[in-house]
Amino acid sequence: MRTELTRIGNSRGIRIPKPLIDQCGLGNVVELRVTAAGLVIAPHRAPRHGWRQQFDAAGPDNNALLLAEAPANLFDSEEWKW
């Protein structure tokens, strides 16, 4: 698709047709990246987006604390003072 840059003050902008916005899953905030191929406009994703689903998909055995089986050491046995 070809579109023209529109003057917005001292900047330039583009209008993205609604069907493209829907198809790409764009919201009110987008991420912009410059690559060797050009400018990439992508949906904004919160940090760690999707981590919970990936963690849950790993299975119930992975939900246990891994350090619960580790023996205590000197650092663990000392009383902490705040």
Could you list the residue range(s) of the whole structural domain that residue 30 is in? 6-77
Q: Is the four-CA dihedral 67, 72, 75, 77 of positive or negative sign?
A: positive
pTM of the model: 0.54
Burial (CB < 10 A; 0-12, 13-18, 19+), residue 15, is exposed
Tell me which of 42 and 63 has the higher pLDDT.
42
In this prediction, residue 63 carries a pLDDT of 53
In this prediction, residue 56 carries a pLDDT of 81
In a domain, 40, yes or no: yes
In a domain, 30, yes or no: yes
Report the domain count for the chain: 1
In a domain, 1, yes or no: no
